[in-house]
């Protein structure tokens, strides 16, 4: 069944309000003949005369009276739906956003982000959730509004991304650890006992590949699923944690931090979202907030 011409709804709304072809034509800025043709199309579409002669005027048929109430609601609703989005009023915005992040993001960037959001949009709430994997499904399904992470082959091809900052791996040990005294060399680093951060358990990472190029291998004593766990273990033992610098800046203030004594590749942490949120004004504003705060140098 072909779709009817929905423009006829506007014509019908005005005709039923005026009960007069000439006045309806004037309101719609149509010629009387064009208005008469539109009425003829409406009669053909509805299968009803809609307006009939009664003396010198027109009166609605029972079918027209039935349609009048429905059409009077449909037309304004359609106009509202197609109207351009009003300018965002942050002070009146009431909304909850869910952000999915790796360990350390909330501790490092959360306080400033929350303070800015509260100052600009006091009705906005943020729900931070852990990122146990790199699956894009939560963004795709609308469960998550924003996510931070490294864009990889597993990232959904439709996902939008904006670079937040460049990060690098650093070594972290407890205060008083032997590596906190004297020069750290690739050999002295590799000779220590290490914590591997891995969501999947024991495996090799970029640090092991870099050491392998130097003919070195480190001893991985244990594996944990997040940066805060690695730092907690290193803080209470002689184990060495190797973690991203920016992501963990708020977690290691009382520990000894050192640059790795061998070259490793930096990586880009990006802000990720689904394209259906691309033009959402509140979402655009929150993305700008996160970008601004993450662009500041780490307090390392």
Domain holding 46: CATH number?
1.10.10.10
More confident residue, 66 or 186: 186
**Assigned domain for 277 exists:** yes
The CATH number of the domain holding residue 205 is 3.40.190.10
> How many domains does the chain divide into?
3
Tell me, yes or no, whether 175 and 257 share the same domain.
yes
Q: What is the mean pLDDT of residues 151-166?
A: 88
pLDDT digits (tens, 9 = 90+) for 106-122: 888 999 999 999 999 99
pLDDT at 298 over 60: no
What pairs with residue 100 in β-bridges? 129, 147
pLDDT of residue 300: 42
How are beta strands 219-224 and 57-60 bridged, if at all? unpaired
**Assigned domain for 113 exists:** yes
- Structural contact between residues 121 and 91, judged by C-beta atoms closer than 8 angstroms: yes
Tell me, yes or no, whether 255 and 279 share the same domain.
no
Tell me, yes or no, whether 99 and 152 share the same domain.
yes
Dihedral (Cα; 251, 254, 255, 258), 10-degree rounding: 80
pLDDT of residue 245: 92
- Does this model's pTM top 0.85? My answer is no
Q: Which residue, 81, 80, 78, is CA-closest to 70? A: 78
Confidence band of 144 (pLDDT split at 50, 70, 90): very high
pLDDT of residue 158: 87
CA distances from 23 to 31, 39, 59, 242 (A): 10, 13, 14, 79
Integer Cα distance of 104 and 293 in angstroms: 15
Of 22, 48, 82, the position where a domain reaches its end is 82
**Assigned domain for 300 exists:** no
**Assigned domain for 129 exists:** yes
**Assigned domain for 1 exists:** no
Tell me, yes or no, whether 201 and 147 share the same domain.
no
What pairs with residue 243 in β-bridges? 170
pLDDT at 195 over 90: yes
Tell me, yes or no, whether 71 and 31 share the same domain.
yes
Tell me, yes or no, whether 154 and 275 share the same domain.
yes
Of 82, 104, 132, the position where a domain reaches its end is 82
Integer Cα distance of 198 and 110 in angstroms: 23
Mean pLDDT, the chain, as a whole number?
88
**Assigned domain for 299 exists:** no
**Assigned domain for 164 exists:** no
Of the ranges 63-72, 268-277, 284-293, which one carries the lowest mean pLDDT score? Answer: 63-72
Q: What is the mean pLDDT of residues 221-230?
A: 91
Of the ranges 134-138, 264-268, 274-278, which one carries the lowest mean pLDDT score? Answer: 134-138
Tell me, yes or no, whether 255 and 284 share the same domain.
no
At residue 87, φ and ψ (nearest 5 deg) are: -60, 135
Integer Cα distance of 145 and 219 in angstroms: 39
Q: What is the mean pLDDT of residues 25-30?
A: 87
Integer Cα distance of 265 and 280 in angstroms: 35
- Structural contact between residues 46 and 77, judged by C-beta atoms closer than 8 angstroms: no
Tell me, yes or no, whether 180 and 214 share the same domain.
yes
Tell me, yes or no, whether 261 and 176 share the same domain.
yes
Domain carrying residue 181: 169-265
pLDDT digits (tens, 9 = 90+) for 36-92: 898 898 898 888 888 888 887 888 888 988 888 788 888 777 777 676 667 889 999
pLDDT at 93 over 70: yes
- Structural contact between residues 108 and 251, judged by C-beta atoms closer than 8 angstroms: yes
Of 65, 82, 99, the position where a domain reaches its end is 82
**Assigned domain for 239 exists:** yes
pLDDT of residue 78: 75
Tell me, yes or no, whether 228 and 259 share the same domain.
yes
Tell me, yes or no, whether 230 and 287 share the same domain.
no
Integer Cα distance of 190 and 175 in angstroms: 19
More confident residue, 198 or 175: 175
Tell me, yes or no, whether 126 and 213 share the same domain.
no
């Amino acid at each position: 069944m072909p779709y009817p011409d929905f423009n006829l709804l506007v014509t019908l709304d005005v005709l039923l309000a005026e009960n007069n072809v000439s006045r309806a034509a004037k309101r719609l800025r149509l010629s009387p003949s064009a208005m008469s043709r539109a009425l003829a199309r409406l009669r053909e579409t509805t299968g009803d005369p809609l307006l009939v002669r009664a003396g010198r005027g027109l009166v609605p048929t029972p079918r027209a009276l039935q349609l009048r109430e429905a059409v009077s609601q449909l037309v304004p609703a359609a106009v509202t739906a197609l109207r351009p989005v009003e300018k965002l009023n942050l002070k009146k915005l009431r909304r909850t956003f869910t952000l999915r992040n790796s360990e350390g993001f909330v501790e490092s960037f959360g306080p400033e982000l929350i303070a800015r959001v509260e100052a600009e949009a006091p009705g906005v709430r943020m729900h931070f959730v852990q990122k146990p994997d790199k699956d894009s499904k939560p963004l795709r399904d609308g469960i998550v509004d924003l996510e931070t992470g490294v864009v990889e082959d597993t990232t959904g091809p439709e996902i939008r991304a904006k670079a937040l900052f460049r990060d690098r791996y650093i070594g972290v040990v407890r205060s008083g650890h032997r590596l906190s005294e004297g020069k750290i060399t690739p050999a002295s680093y590799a000779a220590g006992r290490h914590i591997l951060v891995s969501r999947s358990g024991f495996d090799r990472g970029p640090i092991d590949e870099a050491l392998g190029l130097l003919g070195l291998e480190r001893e991985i004593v244990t594996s944990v699923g997040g940066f805060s766990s690695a730092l907690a273990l290193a803080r209470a033992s002689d184990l060495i944690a190797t973690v991203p610098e920016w992501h963990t800046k708020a977690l290691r203030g009382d520990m000894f931090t050192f640059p790795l004594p061998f070259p490793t590749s930096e990586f880009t942490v990006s802000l990720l979202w689904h394209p259906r949120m691309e033009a959402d004004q509140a979402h655009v504003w929150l993305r700008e907030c996160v970008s601004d705060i993450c662009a500041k140098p780490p307090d390392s």
